[in-house]
């Protein structure tokens, strides 16, 4: 009986598009805006699009790829 491995969309992405690099970039941008400007409204202005980008690529995008079935068709072709 063969066990099916869970499919991960991350194994098809380059190193700069992995979860750790997305988190590191987002945290660096948000904390960097605070360190440089020390202004709450400017940090919030940076924070909103960065958190939106991080949320999309860390939460929504992987689920969309898994549900689309594109990984299954790619695995079958290999």
Mean pLDDT per block of 10 residues along the chain (78 residues) reads 69 93 97 97 97 97 91 68
The pTM of this model reads: 0.80
Residue 43: predicted pLDDT: 97
Residue 22: predicted pLDDT: 96
User: CA torsion, points 53, 54, 58, 61, in degrees to nearest 10?
Assistant: 0
First to last CA, the chain: 21
50 neighbors 42 (Cβ within 8 angstroms): no
Give the SS3 label for residue 13: coil
Burial pattern 51-67, b for ≥16 Cβ within 10 A else e, equals eeebeebeeeebeebee
Residue 1: predicted pLDDT: 44
Residue 72: predicted pLDDT: 79
């Amino acid at each position: 009986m063969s066990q099916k491995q869970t499919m991960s969309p991350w194994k098809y992405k380059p190193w700069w598009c992995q979860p750790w690099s997305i988190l590191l970039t987002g945290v660096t941008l948000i904390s960097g805006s605070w360190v440089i400007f020390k202004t709450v409204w400017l940090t919030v202005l940076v924070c909103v699009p960065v958190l939106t980008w991080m949320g999309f690529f860390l939460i929504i995008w992987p689920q969309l790829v898994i549900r689309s079935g594109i990984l299954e068709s790619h695995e079958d072709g290999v």
